[in-house]
């Protein structure tokens, strides 16, 4: 069998001295095939973006990184700067979370897309690259692309800037696209358009897509596989159907119960109490135990491994005992103790 497009194994990212420092990402591993979508979901600070920045060698200078990340069989961790610069923007595209700060404010959109194209293909003329940039803007449904090329980032709306960012990310026909919170701060209509665009690019061009988000609803309709991240590690992983219909982790269950149900608007949303742990003061045992409605004393002492279950892979000591969703909601309404 051929190698997957991207294979990550045992990825760890830390800050501070190796002995006394803190780990922000702890042993993450996954594979991604061409033409497939992997959704990485979790709250802010869980390590989602750091994981992807490590693959591109865009971590801050004080960060420590170890493990393996193989792209088309080539090891990215520890790769020489000259090699990784050749891959970034060409074979691996990235859609950053805030397109306004990602674009250069004093250069036109057209100039920046042309720069991205010519950086990896010196043979193409500026005129030909500008024509290609116009076609890219048209491909991401930006109206009047010939005029928009001459405009600056601040003259674009939020949705148009995100589309322009996607256009620049796919300019060199990458095999892998990393989208870090691509729909943040966009209204629901524009959000749906951006997700539909990413879905179309994945299917038509065979691009492997890693979609990073805090919202399970964003990945519900487009991810082939979902990995739920908490406290710097994956706590549950599986196909989209397995995660939504057969979840075996309380944190994933909490994320699902916090989503509004359009077909059941009267259903009460169940919030996850508390806050995510700091990497400098992570509790012993399961990182989610202080916020978990089902935690027992053993959960506070022993950190569970990600293990195979009937449908998903879950890092929960009580995965097989997880009660039905309606039982959880009733217990929280009545104050019943679910830890026994």
Model pLDDT, residue 164: 92
Model pLDDT, residue 139: 86
Model pLDDT, residue 292: 92
Rama region for 231: left / alpha / beta (φ>0; ψ in -120 to 50; rest): left
Domain count for the chain:
2
Looking at 171, 191, 215, the residue that finishes a domain is 171
Model pLDDT, residue 188: 81
The beta-strand segments (E) located in 117-259 are: 176-180, 208-213, 225-230, 233-239
- Is 109 within a domain? yes
Q: What is the 3-state secondary structure (H, E, C) of 84-115?
A: HHHHECCCEEEECCCHHHHCCCCCCHHHHHHH
Of residues 297 and 264, which shows the higher confidence score? 297
Contact criterion met (CB below 8 Å) for 276 and 43: yes
The 10s digit of each residue's pLDDT in 36-54 is 999 999 998 899 999 999 9
Model pLDDT, residue 99: 80
- Is 224 within a domain? no
- Is 189 within a domain? no
Question: Residue 97: is its pLDDT beyond 70?
Answer: yes
The 10s digit of each residue's pLDDT in 236-245 is 999 999 999 9
Measured between alpha carbons, how far is residue 14 from residues 236, 262, 340 in Å?
A: 22, 41, 36
Question: Residue 334: is its pLDDT beyond 70?
Answer: no
- Is 56 within a domain? no
Of residues 334 and 26, which shows the higher confidence score? 26
The 10s digit of each residue's pLDDT in 300-310 is 999 999 999 99
d(CA 332, CA 325): 11
Looking at 139, 171, 203, the residue that finishes a domain is 171
- Is 233 within a domain? no
- Is 92 within a domain? no
d(CA 201, CA 223): 13
- Is 66 within a domain? no
Contact criterion met (CB below 8 Å) for 67 and 234: no
If you average pLDDT over residues 98-105, what whole number do you get?
86
- Is 41 within a domain? no
Looking at 130, 150, 171, the residue that finishes a domain is 171
The 10s digit of each residue's pLDDT in 6-29 is 999 999 999 988 777 789 999 999
Contact criterion met (CB below 8 Å) for 315 and 228: no
Strand order in the sheet with 74-75: 22-32, 6-15, 63-71, 74-75
Model pLDDT, residue 340: 42
> Which range of residues forms the domain containing residue 128?
98-171
Of residues 263 and 202, which shows the higher confidence score? 202
């Amino acid at each position: 069998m051929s190698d997957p497009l991207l294979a990550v194994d045992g990825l760890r990212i830390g800050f501070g001295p190796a002995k006394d420092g803190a780990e922000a990402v702890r042993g993450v591993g996954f594979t991604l095939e061409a033409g497939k979508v992997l959704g990485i979901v979790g709250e802010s600070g869980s390590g989602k973006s750091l994981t992807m920045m490590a693959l591109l060698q865009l971590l801050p200078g004080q960060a420590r990184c170890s493990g393996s990340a193989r792209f088309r069989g080539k090891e990215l961790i520890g790769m020489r700067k000259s090699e990784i610069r050749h891959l970034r923007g060409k074979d691996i595209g990235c859609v950053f979370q805030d397109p306004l700060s990602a674009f250069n404010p004093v250069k036109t959109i057209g100039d920046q897309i042309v720069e991205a194209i010519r950086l990896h293909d010196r043979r193409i003329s500026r005129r030909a690259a500008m024509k290609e940039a116009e076609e890219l803007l048209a491909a991401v449904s930006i109206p009047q692309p010939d005029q928009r090329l001459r405009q600056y980032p601040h003259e674009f709306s939020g949705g148009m800037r995100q589309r322009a960012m996607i256009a620049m990310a796919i300019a060199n026909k990458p095999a892998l696209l990393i989208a870090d919170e691509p729909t943040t701060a966009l209204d629901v209509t524009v959000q749906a358009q951006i997700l539909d665009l990413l879905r179309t690019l994945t299917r038509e061009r065979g691009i492997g897509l890693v979609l990073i988000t805090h919202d399970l609803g964003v990945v519900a309709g487009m991810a082939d596989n979902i990995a739920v991240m908490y406290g710097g590690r994956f706590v549950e992983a599986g196909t989209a159907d397995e995660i939504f219909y057969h979840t075996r982790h309380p944190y994933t269950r909490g994320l699902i119960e916090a989503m509004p149900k359009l077909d059941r608007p009267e259903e009460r949303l169940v919030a996850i109490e508390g806050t995510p742990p700091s990497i400098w003061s992570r509790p012993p045992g399961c990182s989610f135990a202080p916020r978990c409605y089902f935690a027992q004393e053993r959960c506070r002492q022993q950190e569970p491994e990600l293990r195979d279950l009937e449908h998903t892979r879950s890092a929960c000591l009580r995965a097989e005992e997880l009660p039905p969703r309606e039982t959880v909601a009733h217990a929280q309404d009545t104050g019943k103790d679910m830890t026994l």
